[in-house]
Amino acid sequence: MLFANLSAKLQDTFKRLRGKGKLTEKDVDAALREVRLALLEADVNYKVVKDFIAAVKERSLGSDVMASLTPGQTVVKIVHEELTRLMGEQATKVTKAKTPPTTVMLVGLQGSGKTTSAAKLAKLLKKGGGSPLLVAADIYRPAAVKQLQVLGEQIDVPVFQLGGQDPVQIARAALEFARKHNHDYLLVDTAGRLHVDAELMEELARMQDALQPQEILLVVDAMTGQDAVTVAKAFQEKLALSGVILTKLDGDTRGGAALSVRAVTGCPVKFAGLGEKTDAFEPFYPDRMASRILGMGDVLTLIEKAQAAIDEDKAREMEKKLRRQQFTLEDFLEQMQQLRKMGPLSQLVEMLPGVGGLGKKLKGLQVDEKEFKKVEAIILSMTPKERLNPSIINSSRRRRIAAGSGTRIQDVNNLLKQFEMMQKMFKQFSKLDKGKMRGQGRFPFM
Amino acid sequence: MNNMGFFSQIKAGLQKTRNSLMSRMEGLLARNAFDDTFYEELEEILIGADVGVETTLLLVEKLRAKVQEERVRDGDRVMGLLKELILEILGRETAPLQLDGAKPAVILVLGVNGVGKTTTIGKLAGQFREENKKVLLAAGDTFRAAAGEQLQIWAERSGSELVKHQQGADPAAVIFDAVSAAVSRGYDVVLCDTAGRLHNKANLMAELKKIHKVVEKALPGAPHEVLLVLDATTGQNALAQAQVFHEATPLTGLVLTKLDGTAKGGIVIAIAQKLQVPVKYVGVGEGIDDLLPFNPAEYVEGLFAAQA
């Protein structure tokens, strides 16, 4: 991808200027051109980009960029700060009603992920001790009601539906039902509609009147392009939007739409959808989104996941072993298992800087879950002695291991070869300075 | 400006809140000054239509050179040149399905989540039924809740038959069954639905390869068309989608859906340039008739028509 690494690009831009002594406004302009292109590539709306660049320019000219020894980094820092500021504070709470139920409407274009998001939100609220009721108010798309019912069953949350009746009627009846049955949350899944469809937009407004919801969440596909601005504006003109759910963030899009929508509506992005399973739903972190839009990777999320899953002591021990080059197949297995606790590997890899969005380059790095299971089986079929000292694994042992793990001898050979290569790699790592080692030692696979 | 063609064929019942102001383009041309500001504005229009930075810069650069070379002074002529440049990439002709008289003809429909695969299949089924073809639908989305039911409703609407297993079944098996059944029972067309999948999920892309292989096995020479459905609302990510899907299962065409909104889907220009895969259809509504052959010339006109 053209602008995958903005930091490196800016570094380059400024390096060329280094000899000049003092940076001028023109130099800053050149740098901001790169920023502009990066944001446009990330699908931030061009009008939003314009305003944003103007703001960054003002700050850059006034501040320490000129004097800084590393102007590239300083500009990146300012850009990142401004982006984060624009993305707003983290806001993931659902505003509660004074008297239950708290009503939440989910609205958006077709295919943005409303139904899935409704189920995910219901699961989250249920987990927090709530008793949500899902309402199937999409009477237009074939089998939409059924979809919500199936999802409701999966997460054990009741679904209110009245078949193909008028959505406003459904809304009223659902509210009544929720009050009677003591549901504290009412989550209304509405039909997908185009913002230019006056009739259906009017219907949403009538549902709003009937429900008086505490929250109206606009569900936005993270892959949305320039039109995100038009869509968000149109929905906001008709409805009192209170927040945004950004879906399909498990893709490799940079997600500039998040910024566009935020800039236009002023509403915070409250949740992020990260997969098709009902628990793939997370609070939204504005600062991390800023990094992602800039192509700087989501290092923070990765670190957080690692911290949650990996035992600190074990990690330290592992690091020592690596440094002393005592890393065995046993350790390899253990690390692999810890890594898997962090979630699907493909997601983890994408969070690394410079990897997200690099469809092609990613190939070598593509981590296949099945491959991991295979490796696990092979190592588990080895004796402890073999795991400690793979060099004793001769051909008859290889045969035994392959048979025991249900793999082919080539698979065993491959693993041993890879392991040998890894050990060599670690040797090189340990030649690097120790500070660097600390960061990398924990994830030898990456 | 020009509002003819499929942009005007959009269902009449749909009231538009399109900007009634004079289009930006008209304002630009009226100035008859082709300076940097002019080209910058042009860039913004193209980027605003999701054409993407790289392709936009390329187009504008070529245009500048041409305008200078041919000493063009007239605004309409400049626009004509730009449209030409885009048509050079998109191709001038409509690109009909290439079914080569195969019986049954097998069409595989792919895409990321929520782009409108099932709806597109329903509409295609409707068109084939109008030609009195015997149509079989394969419910290859065994993952999403009620996807099979959704397709079933489309089968009923269009008067097609449906092959469906239960949720969670192997999609390749469903599609294999459908193609085999179509062969033995003399169907004309098999339309295979697949689950929405993000292109960066390696296992799901591998599943697609398997589906492709299985179709080939069930009927040598099939699939005859592999269509990638793209949402016109999608931005630059659509290019990555097309590239990765194309690698997994060579695409024969694109379907650009949801063009009845305000999004222009300009990324198809970048895709056509990079992959040479033609756009075959556009989706302009939820009704069974709302799928039209893609007409490049009309599309390019629409690209520069009033920006909402």
Residue B306, in any domain of the structure: no
Nearest chain A Cα distance for residue B19, angstroms: 11
In this predicted structure, what is the pLDDT of residue B111? 98
Nearest chain B residue (CA) to A346: B201
Residue B162, in any domain of the structure: yes
With bands split at pLDDT 50, 70 and 90, how would you rate the model's confidence at A69?
low
Contact A257 B18 (CB under 8 A): no
Contact A146 B144 (CB under 8 A): no
| Closest by Cα among A68, A1, A57 to A30 | A57
With bands split at pLDDT 50, 70 and 90, how would you rate the model's confidence at A350?
low
Chain A residues near residue B201 by CB distance under 8 angstroms: 250, 346
Nearest chain A Cα distance for residue B208, angstroms: 15
Q: Of the candidates B16, B149, B235, which has its C-beta nearest A257's C-beta?
A: B235
Chain A residues near residue B236 by CB distance under 8 angstroms: 41-43, 225, 253-254
Q: Are residues B135 and B186 in the same domain?
A: yes
pLDDT exceeds 50 at position B20? no
Bridge partner residues of B136 (DSSP): B161, B190
In this predicted structure, what is the pLDDT of residue A184? 96
Contact B200 A257 (CB under 8 A): no
Amino acid at B301: E
Q: Are residues B207 and B271 in the same domain?
A: yes
**Considering only residues 158 to 187 of chain A, which have any Cβ-Cβ distance to chain B shorter than 8 Å?**
none
Q: Of the candidates B16, B17, B146, which has its C-beta nearest A143's C-beta?
A: B146
In this predicted structure, what is the pLDDT of residue A389? 84
Distance CA B213, CA B223 (A): 9
**Considering only residues 215 to 274 of chain A, which have any Cβ-Cβ distance to chain B shorter than 8 Å?**
221, 223-228, 230-231, 234, 248, 250-254, 256-257
In this predicted structure, what is the pLDDT of residue A248? 96
Q: Of the candidates B14, B48, B154, which has its C-beta nearest A142's C-beta?
A: B154
Contact B153 A195 (CB under 8 A): no
Mean pLDDT of chain A: 81
Contact B261 A252 (CB under 8 A): no
Residue B244, in any domain of the structure: yes
With bands split at pLDDT 50, 70 and 90, how would you rate the model's confidence at A34?
confident
Q: Are residues B47 and B117 in the same domain?
A: no
In this predicted structure, what is the pLDDT of residue B76? 85
Contact A223 B202 (CB under 8 A): no
Among residues B28, B59, B90, the one where a domain terminates is B90
Mean pLDDT of all residues in B116-124: 97
Q: Are residues B36 and B84 in the same domain?
A: yes
Nearest chain B residue (CA) to A152: B145
Structure tokens at A133: 């009721």
Lowest mean pLDDT among A332-346, B73-87, B225-239: A332-346
Nearest chain A Cα distance for residue B285, angstroms: 9
In this predicted structure, what is the pLDDT of residue B232? 97
Residue B305, in any domain of the structure: no
Chain A residues near residue B116 by CB distance under 8 angstroms: 110-111
- Residue B150 lies in domain: 105-294
Those residues whose C-beta lies under 8 Å from the C-beta of residue A253, and which sit 6 or more positions away, are A43, A222, A223, A357, B235, B236, B237, B240
With bands split at pLDDT 50, 70 and 90, how would you rate the model's confidence at A370?
confident
Q: Are residues B60 and B114 in the same domain?
A: no
Q: Encode pLDDT of B224-236 as tens digits.
A: 999 999 999 999 9
Q: Are residues B173 and B206 in the same domain?
A: yes
Using the Cβ of A18 and the Cβ atoms of chain B, whether some distance falls under 8 Å is answered with no
Interface test with B, best of A253, A368, A373 (most B CBs within 10 A): A253
Above pLDDT 90, what percent of chain A? 49
Using the Cβ of A212 and the Cβ atoms of chain B, whether some distance falls under 8 Å is answered with no
Lowest mean pLDDT among A159-168, A325-334, B40-49, B79-88: A325-334
How many domains, in total, are found in chain B?
A: 2
Q: Are residues B46 and B195 in the same domain?
A: no
Q: Are A105 and A207 in contact (CB under 8 A)?
A: yes
For residue A342, give Cα distances in angstroms to A307, A309, A338, B199, B208: 9, 6, 7, 22, 27
pLDDT exceeds 60 at position A411? yes
pLDDT exceeds 80 at position A81? yes
Mean pLDDT of all residues in A111-125: 97
Among residues B60, B90, B120, the one where a domain terminates is B90
Interface test with B, best of A6, A9, A203, A226 (most B CBs within 10 A): A226
Using the Cβ of A37 and the Cβ atoms of chain B, whether some distance falls under 8 Å is answered with yes
Nearest chain B residue (CA) to A276: B144
What structural domains and CATH numbers belong to chain A? Answer: 4-87 (1.20.120.140), 102-294 (3.40.50.300), 302-434 (1.10.260.30)
For residue B74, give Cα distances in angstroms to A143, A366, B29, B276, B302: 54, 53, 8, 32, 21
Q: Are residues B181 and B142 in the same domain?
A: yes
Nearest chain A Cα distance for residue B287, angstroms: 10
In this predicted structure, what is the pLDDT of residue B297? 94
pLDDT exceeds 60 at position A239? yes
pLDDT exceeds 60 at position A269? yes
Q: Are residues B83 and B145 in the same domain?
A: no
In this predicted structure, what is the pLDDT of residue A362? 40
In this predicted structure, what is the pLDDT of residue A384? 87
Residue B299, in any domain of the structure: no
What is the pairing mode between strands A243-247 and A215-221? parallel
Q: Cα angle at B234 between A236 and B209, to 5 degrees?
A: 145
Distance CA A198, CA A221 (A): 22
With bands split at pLDDT 50, 70 and 90, how would you rate the model's confidence at A304?
low
Beta strands in A109-240 (DSSP E): 132-137, 159-160, 185-190, 215-221
Please tell me the total number of residues recorded for chain B in this structure.
308
Mean pLDDT of all residues in A103-110: 98
pLDDT exceeds 90 at position A35? no
Among residues B38, B65, B90, the one where a domain terminates is B90
Mean pLDDT of all residues in B194-210: 95
Contact A111 B231 (CB under 8 A): yes
For residue A389, give Cα distances in angstroms to A326, A382, B221: 10, 11, 52
In this predicted structure, what is the pLDDT of residue A31? 82
Using the Cβ of A315 and the Cβ atoms of chain B, whether some distance falls under 8 Å is answered with no
Using the Cβ of A197 and the Cβ atoms of chain B, whether some distance falls under 8 Å is answered with yes
Q: What's the pTM?
A: 0.79
pLDDT exceeds 80 at position A366? no
In this predicted structure, what is the pLDDT of residue B22? 46
With bands split at pLDDT 50, 70 and 90, how would you rate the model's confidence at B293?
very high
Nearest chain A residue (CA) to B12: A197
With bands split at pLDDT 50, 70 and 90, how would you rate the model's confidence at A357?
very low
Residue B248, in any domain of the structure: yes
Distance CA A344, CA A280 (A): 11
Place of tokens 């429900």: A211
Please tell me the total number of residues recorded for chain A in this structure.
446
Q: What is the CATH number of the domain that holds B127?
A: 3.40.50.300
With bands split at pLDDT 50, 70 and 90, how would you rate the model's confidence at B3?
very low
Using the Cβ of A298 and the Cβ atoms of chain B, whether some distance falls under 8 Å is answered with no
Chain A residues near residue B44 by CB distance under 8 angstroms: 46
The H-or-E segment that residue A84 falls in is: helix A71-87
Q: Are residues B51 and B23 in the same domain?
A: yes
The most confident of the ranges A2-6, A320-324, B204-208 is B204-208
Q: Are residues B124 and B80 in the same domain?
A: no
Q: Of the candidates B53, B233, B237, which has its C-beta nearest A251's C-beta?
A: B237
Q: Encode pLDDT of A119-144 as tens digits.
A: 999 999 999 999 999 999 999 999 99
Q: Are residues B157 and B290 in the same domain?
A: yes
Residue B234, in any domain of the structure: yes
Nearest chain B Cα distance for residue A414, angstroms: 21
pLDDT exceeds 50 at position A337? yes
Nearest chain A Cα distance for residue B182, angstroms: 25
With bands split at pLDDT 50, 70 and 90, how would you rate the model's confidence at A29?
confident
pLDDT top residue among A56 and B121: B121
The most confident of the ranges A368-382, B65-79, B165-179 is B165-179
Using the Cβ of A343 and the Cβ atoms of chain B, whether some distance falls under 8 Å is answered with no
In this predicted structure, what is the pLDDT of residue A91? 79
Q: What is the CATH number of the domain that holds B33?
A: 1.20.120.140
Q: Of the candidates B16, B203, B231, which has its C-beta nearest A196's C-beta?
A: B16
The H-or-E segment that residue B137 falls in is: strand B135-140
Residue B189, in any domain of the structure: yes
Mean pLDDT of all residues in B15-40: 64
**Considering only residues 64 to 83 of chain A, which have any Cβ-Cβ distance to chain B shorter than 8 Å?**
none
**Considering only residues 110 to 129 of chain A, which have any Cβ-Cβ distance to chain B shorter than 8 Å?**
110-113
